[in-house]
Structure 1
Amino acid sequence: MDNDAYGHMNNVVHYSLFDTAVNGWLIDQGLLNVGTSETYGLVVETGCRYFAEMQFPDVVHAGLRIARIGNSSVRFEIALFRNDEDEASAEGFFVHVYVDRASHRPVAIEGHRRAAFEGLMV
């Protein structure tokens, strides 16, 4: 299902991999519990640039960094690497705005979350 009619990875799979890389890191850092976190990031902007084809069954590695931290938003940048290649096959970004689970209103990024983001900032 990853490959499209042209034999390469469908663009929606790239976005799914971006989401997995970001949320995996957040969970590993103790910054997100999908079911119970009082605050979480909503994607408000996303984009992708493609440089080389990937296809199943390639092994895809993701690199993750943070480019910008605002009061309630953060920009994650992700690069996808095919197999053992040194140059990215695709790069993209997600902008999350952190909101309160109950009200869905923006909240400031503070404390442990901000410190973790700063540690991944380039």
Structure 2
Amino acid sequence: MKQTVVIQVSMDGQGNCFSNTEGEKARRKAMKIAVGLSGVESLALKGQNRDQIEVKGDNIDTVKLATLLRKKVGPACIVSVAEEKKEEKKDEKKDEPKIQCPHGPPYAFYEIRDPCYDTNVCSIL
């Protein structure tokens, strides 16, 4: 069962306000923790401040992930857990070629008149 988990983690860092290295370290640490779990296939940072971790994979233990992030990084909150929807592919029916009968060339029709029945002929009877 593939699922998508979004967890919000406080990764602002408590260093001085002029450098953001503490926040980057916290992000790297959180990403290493999330990737280390079994079943994780992909990971992405989301949110305006890149403080949400979106994890996709098979049978991810969401509670274990949140607990590890709380212990090693900081406050973590599970935002959403959703099962990944499978795209239903519509079976497109392929048009089978229809059998066509071969046709010969068209016949040319000629009008042949019998001179006996021709009314334009002048005859004396």
Q: Same fold (TM over 0.5)?
A: no
Q: Which has the higher contact order (CA 8 A, sep 6+)?
A: 2
Structure with the largest fraction of strand: 1
Task: Give the alignment's TM-score, normalised by structure 2.
Answer: 0.24
Higher-Rg structure is 2
Task: Give the alignment's TM-score, normalised by structure 1.
Answer: 0.24
